[in-house]
Amino acid sequence: KAGVTQTPRYLIKTRGQQVTLSCSPISGHRSVSWYQQTPGQGLQFLFEYFSETQRNKGNFPGRFSGRQFSNSRSEMNVSTLELGDSALYLCASSPGGQANYGYTFGSGTRLTVV
Amino acid sequence: AQSVTQLDSQVPVFEEAPVELRCNYSSSVSVYLFWYVQYPNQGLQLLLKYLSGSTLVKGINGFEAEFNKSQTSFHLRKPSVHISDTAEYFCAVTPRGEKLTFGTGTRLTIIP
């Protein structure tokens, strides 16, 4: 059974640019969540999508957005990149959006903003 | 709101010695509790979880954790560690189906 796939693994962007990250959940899973991991702030929740609808949103500026497609694949977009957006972005999937299943995480996308 | 405190940012342990990684949480409602492990340049892997029932939970790689409601703790233990256990460990809570709130992590270093 394939795990959670995140692409790309590494990304270097310039300040002011925008970026799109992709996440393919485990087959059959309908919930996808996104987290940002930085040395200073640790793991912070960005948002969760379930059946193409955003169910929960963290405390991030509007430059961070996401969406989920009918096949449950999800993308997150960051516009007008800032140096502080450099982080590991982790995607997690779960079957029905309930954390009692234990989210399965991908390997992440390492974004570096220069 | 929920919060998680991992008291030790770094824990060095000799190989084959026991280890305990501490986790305390705060919540006004019942929560589910998790421990995840992160190896270098990788995502998070679920070690174990507590949902209900027996307060002693066994996970993968020989780890176990004990839920203590009165102490609001969920400490992770392993009786004998190996070099391969070198990683960062995260405790997390969720109020039954909402987002995960993570602790700041504990870096476990195994000394040969």
A55-111 confidence digits (pLDDT tens)? 889 999 999 999 999 999 999 999 999 999 999 999 999 887 555 667 899 999 999
Out of B90, B97, B105, the one facing A100 most closely (by C-beta) is B97
pLDDT of residue A1: 63
Q: Does residue B77 carry a pLDDT above 90?
A: yes
CB A75 within 8 A of CB A21: yes
Q: Which one of A103, A104, A107 has the shortest CB-CB distance to B42?
A: A107
Phi, psi of B84 (to 5 degrees): -70, -10
**Distant-in-sequence, close-in-space partners of A22: CB < 8 Å, separation ≥ 6:** A6, A7, A73, A74, A75
Q: Which chain A residue has the Cα nearest residue B48?
A: A102
Cβ atoms within 10 Å of B59's Cβ, excluding its own: 17
pLDDT(B38) > 60: yes
Average pLDDT, chain B: 94
Q: Using CA atoms, how far apart are residues A63 and A36, in angstroms rounded to an integer?
A: 14
More confident residue, B27 or A19: A19
d(CA A87, CA B36): 19
Amino acid in the structure at residue B64: E
Considering only CA atoms, which of A69, A73, A48, A45 is closest in space to residue A59?
Answer: A45
Position B31 scores a pLDDT of 87
Residue with tokens 């997390």: B92
- pLDDT over 90 percentage in chain B: 80
**What is the per-residue pLDDT for B98?**
72
Q: Which of A98-102, B57-61, B84-88 has the weakest average pLDDT? A: A98-102
**pLDDT mean over A40-56:** 92
Predicted local confidence at residue B53, as pLDDT: 87
Best residue in A30, A43, A54, A57 for a mutation probing chain B (most B CBs within 10 Å)? A43
A78-82, A99-103, B65-69, B92-96, range with the lowest pLDDT: A99-103
Give Rg (Cα) of chain A.
Answer: 13
CA A44 to chain centroid, in Å, comes to 11
Cβ pair A58, A43 in contact under 8 A: no
Does the beta-carbon distance from B104 to A42 stay under 8 Å? yes
Q: Which pLDDT score is estimated for B95?
A: 83
Give the strands of the sheet with A5-7, arranged side by side. Answer: A5-7, A19-24, A74-78, A64-68
Farthest-apart Cα atoms in chain B, separation? 42
Question: pLDDT band at A18, cuts 50/70/90?
Answer: very high
pLDDT score, position A10: 97
